[in-house]
Amino acid sequence: MADPANMFDKLAKGRQKAKTTPDPEPKRRQRRQAAGKRSDPNYIQVGSYIPKELNKDVKRQLVDYEGDFSDLVAELLEDWVKQ
């Protein structure tokens, strides 16, 4: 059987060598130019609490709507403000 002291010495040397070897730098992805409402300074993000069933019904209706949820909310709020 091998000498246990030698086994631990080899293990310790291997760990030391691994610590001194620098990790290769990860490849950086090129970012594409930000687009959409999130990056548009004319928009802000808002939130509200609505009942779960209402949210489900709205999502179903949005399938046939010609915009997204943000467009729907903006349209409804604009109409409400005009009243």
pLDDT, tens digit, 9 for 90 and up, residues 55-82: 999 999 999 998 899 999 999 999 999 9
Rank 7-11, 19-23, 31-35, 74-78 by mean pLDDT and report only the highest: 74-78
Taken in order 28, 45, 51, 66, the sign of the CA dihedral is negative
- How much is the average pLDDT of 12-33? 75
Please check whether residue 44 is in contact with residue 37, taking contact to mean a CB–CB distance below 8 angstroms: no
Map out the domains of the chain as residue ranges: 50-83
Q: Read off the tokens for 18.
A: 């691994």
Q: Read off the tokens for 65.
A: 């709507």
User: Given this model, what pLDDT does residue 23 score?
Assistant: 65
